[in-house]
């Protein structure tokens, strides 16, 4: 199923999403990666995180334009998931996945295809930059998303996790099969 | 040979590598898209192909991770170089960072302070071979951290099966490395030689020996799929480089590479 959503996300928005669904997102989103997560925890958030979409991304910016802005590996930020979701974040966008358990009854994980920075840049406009002292890749950028997608719901709020399904099928495979 | 020509060539190969994939890489992704049966996987491959098209036609970096800058430099034995080659390539990196532009990715490993220009201690990384002739061939390999972070060296017991080790490592790590992957594999040598062979294997992709194609088939039968979301396409190419090793050792190194196998070459005389 395909969904067009706008931030901030409501509880109802999050509940309608199931793994395998496709999402296009509009409205304000925030980037954060390694250093921004550490700073969010030590200093608090400079922006409203209730219903927010947090994008694991270190963009390439030129002047006032987004040049390339695909997702970074979410796994490095896995230790912060509980903290981030407790701020009220409704969707984490990234690649490679996170531990699924913290998302239950709270939020979704949206997978943007890794390496697709040129496409993503066309779907994002700079609004503001926070934590600028962290530098281009690590700062917390505030972007306007213009149909950001297609993103796949890879972890939903109902306890389903596509990465976990793939991992389980690897373990259960007595002999290799092709889907 | 003039220093300015080396600087110029460095900027040129970086711009090309960041914005346009080698045609054979693009063809492999197109073929994978045609054969892929999983719908989620198809959507991932379709956006990847769209991304390749936009990056190339508008000369934009295909990925925001413009990588750590690695150069494979082949120096002709009859060439007389009267300047510091490493310094000239470093100058090219500084210029490319401004002009392409590239994201500043290089930090001190402990203070994490960013140099701002993609240069640093021992970086850019130059891998140098001397060859016949009187020309210089510079190949740029921007290497993203997503795939590099998943790479590893295993010091196996000679009684272990190296292919089982490779399959197990790929199964555990592929999702974070932006599959469909290329894999550079170094078997034998020492701890560090195996790692360097694995990197060099990426320079010699795609592998087409029976061994390499068999391993590719076994990796794709895992079903990890593009971006780890499931599917038929987990890897696009595997290349194995071997070195002899100690009778008590079996080093195996795996250098993961994402679908964006970025590289471009220029010859300077």
| ipTM entry | 0.94
Provide φ and ψ at B188, rounded to 5°. Answer: 100, -165
- Interface list for B 127-146 with A (CB within 8 A): 144-146
**Of B126, B128, B124, whose CA–CA distance to B97 is shortest?**
B124
* Closest chain B residue by Cα to residue A22: B40
Contact B247, B158 (CB under 8 A): yes
3 state DSSP class of B75: strand
Residues of chain B positioned with their CB less than 8 A from the CB of A70: 51, 63-65
Q: Using an 8 Å CB-CB cutoff, list chain A residues near B48.
A: 113, 115-116
**A119 → closest Cβ in B38, B50, B176:** B50
- Residue-averaged pLDDT of chain A: 95
Tell me the three state secondary structure of residue B27: helix
A150 CB neighbours in chain B (<8 A) are: 43, 47
For A99, list phi and psi in degrees, rounded to 5: -60, 135
Structure confidence by residue, pLDDT tens digits, B18-48: 999 999 999 999 999 999 999 999 999 999 9
Helix (H, G, I), strand (E, B), or coil: what is residue B94? helix
CB-based contacts of B197: which residues, under 8 Å, 6+ apart?
B186, B187, B188, B189, B241, B242, B243, B253
What is the average per-residue pLDDT within A42-65? Answer: 97
Measured CA to CA in angstroms, residue B1 lies from B93, B95, B140, B268 at distances of: 19, 20, 19, 7
pTM of the model: 0.95
3-class SS of residue A120: helix
Q: Does B35 touch chain A (CB under 8 A)?
A: no
Contacts of B217 (CB under 8 A, 6+ apart): none
The A residues from 6 to 35 touching B (CB cutoff 8 Å) are 20, 22, 35
Residue A177 above 70 pLDDT? no
Contact assignment for B44 to A137 by CB distance below 8 Å: no
**pLDDT score of A171:** 82
- Sign of the torsion angle spanned by Cα atoms B9, B14, B19, B20: positive
Q: Which of A18, A37, A56, A158 is catalytic?
A: A37
Q: Considering only A83-87, A169-173, B228-232, which range has the smallest mean pLDDT?
A: A169-173
Q: What is the pLDDT of residue A178?
A: 43
Residue B186's nearest CA partner among B253, B117, B248 is B253
Q: What is the C-alpha end-to-end distance of chain A, expressed in Å?
A: 21
Confirm if A81 and A75 have CB atoms less than 8 A apart.
Answer: no
A 37-56 residues with CB < 8 A to B: none
Which chain B residue shows the shortest CA-CA distance from A21? B40
d(CA A51, CA A12): 11
Contacts of B105 in chain A (CB under 8 A): 137
Say how far residue B155 (Cα) sits from the centre of its chain. 22
Q: Kindly report, residue by residue over A60-99, the tens digit of the pLDDT.
A: 999 999 999 999 999 999 999 999 999 999 999 999 999 9
Give SS3 for B175: helix
For position A43, what pLDDT does the model report?
96
Place of tokens 């061939």: B137
A111 touches chain B (CB under 8 A): yes
Q: How far apart are CA A20 and CA A46, in angstroms?
A: 33
B168 CB near a chain A CB, below 8 Å? no
Lowest mean pLDDT among A167-176, B58-67, B188-197: A167-176
Pairing between β-strand A60-62 and β-strand B125-131 as defined by DSSP bridges: unpaired
Tokens of A125: 């406009």
Give CA–CA dist A133/A58, Å, rounded.
14
Residue A134 pLDDT greater than 70, yes or no? yes
Task: Tell which B residues from 104 to 123 touch A, by Cβ distance under 8 Å.
Answer: 104-105, 112, 114, 116
Write out the E strands in B77-204. Answer: 125-131, 136-143, 152-156, 181-189
pLDDT tens sequence across B153-186: 999 999 999 999 999 999 999 999 999 999 999 9
Over the stretch B129-153, which tens digit does the pLDDT of each residue have? 999 999 999 999 999 999 999 999 9
Q: What is the pLDDT of residue A176?
A: 47
Number of Cβ atoms within 10 Å of the Cβ of B211: 12
Structure confidence at residue A173 (pLDDT)? 66
Angstrom distance (rounded) from CA B64 to CA B142:
12
């Amino acid at each position: 199923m395909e969904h067009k959503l706008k931030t901030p996300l409501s509880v109802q928005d999050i509940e309608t999403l199931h793994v395998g669904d496709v999402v296009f997102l509009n409205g304000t989103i925030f980037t954060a990666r390694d250093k921004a997560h550490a700073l969010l925890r030590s200093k608090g958030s400079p922006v409203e995180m209730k219903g927010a979409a947090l994008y694991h991304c270190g963009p390439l910016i030129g002047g006032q334009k987004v040049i390339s802005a695909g997702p970074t590996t979410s796994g490095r930020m896995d230790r912060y998931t509980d903290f981030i979701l407790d701020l009220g974040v409704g969707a984490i966008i990234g690649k490679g996945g996170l531990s699924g358990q913290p998302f239950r009854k709270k939020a979704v994980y949206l997978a943007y295809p890794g390496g697709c920075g040129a496409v993503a840049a066309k779907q994002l406009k700079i609004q503001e930059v926070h934590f600028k002292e962290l530098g281009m890749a690590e700062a917390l950028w505030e972007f306007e998303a213009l149909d950001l997608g297609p993103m796949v719901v890879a972890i939903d709020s109902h306890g389903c996790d596509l990465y976990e399904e793939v991992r389980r099928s690897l373990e259960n495979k007595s002999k290799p099969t092709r889907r | 040979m003039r220093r300015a020509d080396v600087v110029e060539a460095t900027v040129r190969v970086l711009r090309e590598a960041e914005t346009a994939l080698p045609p054979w890489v693009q063809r492999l992704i197109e073929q994978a898209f045609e054969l892929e049966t999983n719908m989620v996987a198809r959507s991932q491959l379709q956006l990847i192909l769209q991304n390749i098209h936009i990056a190339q036609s508008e000369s934009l970096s295909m990925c925001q991770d413009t990588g750590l800058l690695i150069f494979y430099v082949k120096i002709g034995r009859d060439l007389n170089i009267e300047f510091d080659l490493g310094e000239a390539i470093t100058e090219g990196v500084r210029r490319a960072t401004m002009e392409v532009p590239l994201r500043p990715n290089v930090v001190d490993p402990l203070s994490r302070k960013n140099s701002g220009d993609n240069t640093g201690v021992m970086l850019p990384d130059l891998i140098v071979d001397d060859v016949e002739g009187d020309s210089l061939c510079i190949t740029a390999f921007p290497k993203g951290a997503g795939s590099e972070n998943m790479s590893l060296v295993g010091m196996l017991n000679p009684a272990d099966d190296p292919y089982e080790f490779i399959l197990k490592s790929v199964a555990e790590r592929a999702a974070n490395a932006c599959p469909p992957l290329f894999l550079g594999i170094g078997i034998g040598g020492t701890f560090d030689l195996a790692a360097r062979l694995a990197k060099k294997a990426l320079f010699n992709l795609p592998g087409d020996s029976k061994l390499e194609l068999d391993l590719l088939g076994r990796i794709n039968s895992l079903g990890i799929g593009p971006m780890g979301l499931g599917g038929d396409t987990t890897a696009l190419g595997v290349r194995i480089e071997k070195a002899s090793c100690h009778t008590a050792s079996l080093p195996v190194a795996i250098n993961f590479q994402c679908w964006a196998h970025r590289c471009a070459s220029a010859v300077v005389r």
